[in-house]
Amino acid sequence: MSGTTPSSGTVVEVRDLTRDFRVRDGLKVRRLTAVDHMTWSIAPGEAVGYIGANGAGKSTTIKMLAGILVPSAGEVITCGLRPVKDRKRLARRIGVVFGQRSQLWWDLPVRESFGILAAIHSLSRAEERSRTDELVGTLDMGDYLGTPVRQLSLGQRMRAEVAAALLHRPELLVLDEPTIGLDVLSKQRLREFLVRERAEHGTTLLLTTHDMGDVERLCDRILVVDHGRLAYDGTLDGLARTVGAERVLIVDLAEPHGRLVVAGARHLRSEGDGLRQHLAFDPTTTTAARVLATVSEQAEVLDLTITEPDVEDVVRRIYERASTSSS
Ligand SMILES: Nc1ncnc2c1ncn2[C@@H]1O[C@H](COP(=O)(O)OP(=O)(O)OP(=O)(O)O)[C@@H](O)[C@H]1O
């Protein structure tokens, strides 16, 4: 296969993808490498979280794979197409939602924006009607279809944005910070919808987010980007293992008890005369059941809770690791 032929079986393929910007630094102009020789690919049907600290290079990558920005070096193939060269054809195959930027017509009712987008995508009347009805139903937008976009709440607008991006049934949906600023209920609604959309239509998802709830609920794979480079590619569990994240077993005991000593676990703290004790353990070397069995030999356990590694903490650790190894 030649170096420019897209591999079959990928929806997005980036190879040595690089993007530089010229930025002013006082009186000088310097080169900033926002995306630095990145190589990865996404298979059909995957749901990938693209995460990283502010300024890591996420939006720049997304813009290149959507054809909005030209790479400085390397290449990107999206849905088998060259995004900048084939931008029009690509627009029929992907849907893009930028949380901060609208693709809807501000002064028009939502319904009319959908009508215009359906015309742009050359949907037939029947296709437009059936897909609009489906999206309006599942996203619960019936009450505000006649409302101008500028009068919508942020939660309502985001649902309309996602519907607009999905009207033409794209095979890839790219979401840049889809839940930013949304309240808990709106986030939950949107996530449930995306899970369903993916299950029913096999849509591939790629999303950038700072909200680890999005990653936990939506993504089966995560790519961590740090200073324009790929710092991790794998599952969330795998990431927790990579950085040695611990689980915590919290036990409520029948009687006050001194500090529990359990092989393979670390006593974190005791509360209420030792009635409640917190024990941290590494899930790759022992199990909650084993830790509990040892506790039960020492005291009567009334209740227990196991906490998963905190995702924010796991991601913070991978950034720290990446910055130590690059310094
Ligand atoms: N048009 C531009 N001109 C100059 N520098 C830019 C431009 N766009 C992005 N950058 C710089 O490139 C780097 C990566 O930016 P990018 O927006 O891709 O990061 P990000 O990971 O999406 O960040 P955030 O989470 O804050 O949105 C940053 O240092 C940013 O300042």
Q: Which atom of ligand 1 is nearest to the CA of 225?
A: 21
Best substitution site from 30, 54, 60, 207 to test ligand 1's pocket, by max atoms within 8 Å of Cβ?
Answer: 60
Q: Do the beta carbons of residue 92 and residue 39 sit within 8 Å? A: no
Band the pLDDT of 187: cuts 50, 70, 90. Answer: confident
Six token digits for residue 70: 């030209």
> What residue type is assigned to position 76 of the chain?
V
**Residues 70 and 160 grouped into a single domain:** yes
Is the residue at 314 inside a domain? no
- Which residues approach ligand 1 with their CB closer than 6 A? 21, 23, 32, 34, 52, 54-60
Q: So what's the pLDDT on residue 82? A: 96
> Which phi and psi angles does 183 have, rounded to 5°?
-75, 170
**How does pLDDT run across 36-86, given as a tens digit for each residue?**
999 999 999 999 999 888 888 999 999 999 999 999 999 999 999 999 999
Q: Whose CA is nearest to atom 2 of ligand 1?
A: 21
Q: So what's the pLDDT on residue 285? A: 86
Which strand (E) or helix (H) includes residue 31? strand 28-42
* Nearest alpha carbon to residue 206 among 117, 324, 94: 94
Is the residue at 204 inside a domain? yes
Is the residue at 64 inside a domain? yes
User: What is the CB neighbour count within 10 angstroms for residue 168?
Assistant: 20
> What residue type is assigned to position 85 of the chain?
K
**Residues 76 and 182 grouped into a single domain:** yes
**Residues 202 and 286 grouped into a single domain:** no
Tell me the β-bridge partners of 279.
249, 267
**Residues 277 and 295 grouped into a single domain:** yes
* Nearest alpha carbon to residue 219 among 161, 179, 167, 170: 179
Relative to beta strand 94-98, strand 247-253 is unpaired
Band the pLDDT of 139: cuts 50, 70, 90. Answer: confident
Q: So what's the pLDDT on residue 262? A: 95
* Nearest alpha carbon to residue 177 among 213, 135, 228, 145: 213
**How does pLDDT run across 258-275, given as a tens digit for each residue?**
999 999 999 999 999 999
Q: So what's the pLDDT on residue 50? A: 93
Buried b (16+ CB within 10 A) or exposed e, 243-271: bebbbbbbbebeeebeebebeebeeeebe
**Residues 294 and 173 grouped into a single domain:** no
Q: How many percent of the chain have pLDDT more than 70?
A: 93
The rounded distance, in Å, linking the Cα atoms of 5 and 71 is 17
Q: Do the beta carbons of residue 39 and residue 15 sit within 8 Å? A: yes
Collapsing DSSP to helix, strand or coil, 226 comes out as: strand
Six token digits for residue 103: 């693709």
CB-count exposure of residue 143 (10 Å: 0-12, 13-18, 19+): exposed
Q: State the CATH number of the domain containing residue 297.
A: 3.30.70
Band the pLDDT of 3: cuts 50, 70, 90. Answer: very low
**Residues 173 and 236 grouped into a single domain:** yes
**Residues 161 and 102 grouped into a single domain:** yes
Is the residue at 291 inside a domain? yes
Collapsing DSSP to helix, strand or coil, 9 comes out as: coil
Is the residue at 234 inside a domain? yes
Q: So what's the pLDDT on residue 327? A: 53
* Nearest alpha carbon to residue 15 among 65, 85, 88: 65
Is the residue at 28 inside a domain? no
Band the pLDDT of 1: cuts 50, 70, 90. Answer: very low
Runs of H (alpha helix) within 167-310: 184-201, 212-218, 236-242, 288-298
Distance 300 CA to ligand 1 centre (A): 55
Distance of CA 266 to the CA centre of its chain: 32
Is the residue at 62 inside a domain? yes
Q: Which of 219, 240, 261 is the last residue of a domain?
A: 240
Q: So what's the pLDDT on residue 299? A: 96
Place of tokens 């689980």: 247
Best substitution site from 19, 32, 68 to test ligand 1's pocket, by max atoms within 8 Å of Cβ?
Answer: 32
**How does pLDDT run across 284-314, given as a tens digit for each residue?**
789 999 999 999 999 999 999 988 766 666 7
Full domain range(s) for residue 281: 246-307
Best substitution site from 18, 58, 206, 225 to test ligand 1's pocket, by max atoms within 8 Å of Cβ?
Answer: 58
Distances (CA, A) of 258 to 19, 209, 265, 267, 302: 58, 43, 16, 11, 16
Q: So what's the pLDDT on residue 311? A: 64
Tally of structural domains, the chain: 2
**Residues 231 and 255 grouped into a single domain:** no
**Residues 119 and 62 grouped into a single domain:** yes
